[in-house]
Amino acid sequence: MTGPTIAILTDTPQSGSVYPTPYGESAPIRAWELESHTVLVGTPGVDDPRATIQALKDRGATHLWLCESVGALSPLLEVGDWLVPDDYIDGTRGQHYTYFSEKAGGYVQQVPPFDPASRTALLAGATAVTARSFRRGVYVCVCSTRQETPAEAQFWERAGAHVAGRFLSPYLTLARELEMQVAVLAVVTRAGGVAGTPQPFSTYEPALRAAVGSLEA
């Protein structure tokens, strides 16, 4: 019996192979050796998001985890905090949101929003590296091509969001359609509505080592 194959999307550029799919070429995907596991890592780009998710599925991915630097909308969060959200708001528009658009119908339930086992594993990873990790929170996904404005940050805070990120939608919702288990590990690197720089992917490595081990325990 083989274990899960983890795919990770992150917000810092990754080199790797590009794969053809019925939706065009995927974003670059690299195979990363993590302990005794092969993890697939990619960064959202200008590609059709359906292509990247399809390519990850074709490579055997059973799980898709988003590791992303986010802006804090809640006054309770500080720069350096880690968060494993339990819900999200999709504030995006004009993207490819489904594989069913050219079919007679189709719908995948998005409740619960994230895989409970993946959330538990990522929380174990976060608590292994920081004393300030949060097990609940609402992630709002804004436009992938820019960070939110100060006015947008205020708007989404009032709507109930705790952090703002850019890459959950439509990638994780598409992954759900392909029966992948999804979750988010977020690191607060800035205040909402304030410019910031994403953490390098190496920031997540200690947490991911603990998370993968916890998932398979």
For 168-211, the pLDDT digits (tens) are: 999 999 999 999 999 999 999 999 999 999 999 999 999 999 99
Is residue 164 pLDDT above 90, yes or no?
A: yes
pTM: 0.93
Say whether pLDDT at 1 is over 50: no
- Tell me which H or E stretch contains 155: helix 150-158
- For the ranges 36-45, 87-96, 155-164, the maximum mean pLDDT occurs at 155-164
Domain 68-216 part of CATH 3.40.30.10: no
Instruction: Show me where the domains of the chain are located.
Output: 68-216
State the virtual CA torsion across 139, 142, 148, 152 in degrees, nearest 10: -80
| Count of helices and strands (H, E) across the chain | 5, 12
Give yes or no for residue 125 having a pLDDT over 80. yes
d(CA 151, CA 191): 13
pLDDT in the model for residue 3 = 75
Who has greater pLDDT, 37 or 107?
A: 37
